[in-house]
Amino acid sequence: MFNKSIHTISLIHQNLRVLAWVLLSCFPSFLYADNLIVLSKQLPSYQSVAEALASNLDTPSKTITLEEFQRSNYDTSGFQQIIALGSKAGDNLFNKIPKDKNLFISFLPRQTYQSLLKKYKNHTRITKGKVTAIYLDQPYARQLALARLISPSAQSIATALGPYSENDLPLLEKAAETHRLDLKFVTLKETDNPIHKLQPLIRGADLFLSLPDKSVFNRTTAKWILYISFRQRIPLIGFSKKYVEAGALAAVYSTPTDIGHQTAKIIMKYGDKEQLPEPTYSSHFSVATNETAANSLRLKVPSEADLTHKLMELEQ
């Protein structure tokens, strides 16, 4: 009798497992999430953004790759919010998801997003304000504020512009004026010898700001800029933590987790609005400094924590 009862219970458990499998097969997991997060690539950085984003939203999220989304025929049924991480996902989703759905594009450079807006300039998603972005790079005002904190007596700052960044000249000039810095610059073409143009530019400035323009700051050019600035004893403000580790004096940057937090904040505030806000930079950031570079330049640089705190105070 006892063995028969155990057998009966086992059958019940087995039937329940089968029933659960059937239900899950009939109702995809997509239906159990309100937010769809689409990754451009299956990389740790994208995963970090997605994890921070999902953990800071108050409703369930589903994370898939762009390739998986394509296989689902871009099915967004059941989702309230659609979030594309990276430029490739943003570009694909722009046209593929329903025009009445809000689209949040995160973890991409501002210049890349501007290129997307030009590509889809007549798209109703733009005219009706159904798209916005959270940038992974930093505003020029924040970068020059860091430069000013590191070198309060500096009078000028130099930079090199390329095909992607030359349109940013008005933004750079405004940021330089705000921080009372004379902006010096050259525009580099792919056929130029960057060393011949950069050497006198760096020599004639108090600071040098490197910009993430891939046509200007390739690996070779980046090394030459580090070398020239070191030889001329000119502080170099980088655009990433890795560049600081390579020899730049300092940089302000946002981690993938920072971007995830900022994206969640924007979605929580504007997800149910008819029109989305203007694109934004992350308000979460940190400062990295290179002590070896500071010693070589004979500069006393505040701690990373102090610089980060002071930058945040300036933006409040």
DSSP per-residue codes, 217-247:
--HHHHHHHHHHHHHHT--EE-SSHHHHHHT
Cα Rg, the chain, nearest whole Å: 25
Closest among 251, 227, 226, 230 to 240, alpha carbons compared: 251
Closest among 206, 188, 205 to 197, alpha carbons compared: 188
Tokens of 41: 């690539």
d(CA 69, CA 66): 5
What's the pLDDT at 24?
37
What's the pLDDT at 194?
78
CA–chain centroid gap for 87, Å, is 10
d(CA 84, CA 36): 8
- The residues near 109 (Cβ < 8 Å, ≥ 6 apart) are 87, 135, 136, 137, 212
Overall size of the chain counted in residues: 316
d(CA 116, CA 94): 9
- The residues near 9 (Cβ < 8 Å, ≥ 6 apart) are none
What's the pLDDT at 65?
98
d(CA 227, CA 230): 5
What's the pLDDT at 257?
98
| Contact between residue 222 and residue 235 where contact means Cβ atoms under 8 Å apart | no
First to last CA, the chain: 75
Give the 3-state secondary structure of residue 299.
coil
Domains of the chain in sequence order = 33-136+257-270 (3.40.50.2300), 140-253+285-315 (3.40.50.2300)
d(CA 228, CA 179): 25
Q: What is the pTM of this model?
A: 0.87
What's the pLDDT at 303?
97
Closest among 162, 156, 147 to 249, alpha carbons compared: 147
d(CA 253, CA 40): 21
Amino acid 2 reads F
Closest among 187, 154, 143 to 169, alpha carbons compared: 187
Give the 3-state secondary structure of residue 256.
helix
What's the pLDDT at 16?
47
What's the pLDDT at 30?
41
| Contact between residue 263 and residue 53 where contact means Cβ atoms under 8 Å apart | yes
d(CA 104, CA 49): 13
What's the pLDDT at 23?
40
Q: What is the pLDDT along the chain (316 residues), one digit of tens a residue?
A: 544 454 544 555 555 444 433 443 344 444 458 999 999 999 999 999 999 999 999 999 999 999 999 999 999 999 999 999 999 999 999 999 999 999 999 999 999 999 999 999 999 999 999 999 999 999 999 999 999 999 999 999 999 998 888 989 999 999 999 999 999 999 988 778 878 889 999 999 999 999 887 766 666 778 888 999 999 999 999 999 999 999 999 999 999 999 999 999 999 999 999 999 999 999 999 999 999 999 999 999 999 999 999 999 999 8
CA angle, residues 286, 171, 115, in degrees to nearest 5: 90
Cα dihedral angle (216, 221, 222, 224), rounded to 10 degrees?
-140
